Amino acid sequence: MLTAARSDTPRAHDALAKLCQTYWHPLYAYVRWRGYSPEDAQDLTQGFFAHLLEHKAVATVSPDKGRFRSFLLAGLNHFLSDEWDKACAQKRGRGKLISFDTQSAETWLSQQPSQTLTPEQAFELRWAVTLLEQVYGRLAEEHRQQDKAELFDTLRTTLAGPGNSAPYAELAARLGMNEGAVKVAVHRLRQRYRALLRETIAETVASEAEVEEELRHLLRIVTGG
């Protein structure tokens, strides 16, 4: 997806729009943590993505210049300091660029430790949360399409790891399966989750090596390491 967004093809706009959806929450969280009001933060984030789309800025990103998130954050900081008034006026005139649930973003922000979290840390944490939410949503939708929604709803807590869900025997009783079959289903569920996680990360980086790096970075953020 990132590679497509760098090109000048009909797919590029769609790919960039999808990237915008992925990074909406993280960038909004960063702007809010910088002290802007919810209204101004929404306008800023919309205006920044409008700037990216109009100027095809992603096409200038070189794979050897570091993480795409770093490019976005540097671009946003420049935008905040130099282009806020003009860009927000333009944005208000054209309407919403991307559909975005500000209320859910504000709810998440209100739950974060404001005294210990920097704007950069809020951005990284929200990136990790958004990524995992996307993977979870894709996994749930796959099971729904396969008429396995009940199986997913029953076993989804096992994705959090041992000790975070009911015992296998209890899960088996709920599903009318034997315990061995539940263990196999849990193993497959976790395998598919990991595969979707890799796929989702791969959509925002330029190489396989970056996928591994992003996975390690995501783990550090989630575990606080």
Q: Summarize pLDDT for 78-87 with one digit per residue, the tens.
A: 888 876 666 5
Helix pair angle (119-145, 68-82), 10° resolution = 130
**Rounded Cα–Cα distance for residues 15 and 22 (Å):** 11
Q: Summarize pLDDT for 1-31 with one digit per residue, the tens.
A: 455 445 555 666 676 677 777 888 999 999 9
Buried b (16+ CB within 10 A) or exposed e, 164-195: ebeebeebbeeeebeeeebeebbeebeebbee
pLDDT for residue 49 = 82
Q: Summarize pLDDT for 103-150 with one digit per residue, the tens.
A: 888 888 888 877 678 999 999 999 999 999 999 999 999 999 999 999
- What percentage of the chain exceeds 90 in pLDDT? 42
The domains of the chain are located at 1-111, 128-225
pLDDT band at 69 (very low <50, low <70, confident <90, very high): confident
pTM, 2 dp:
0.78
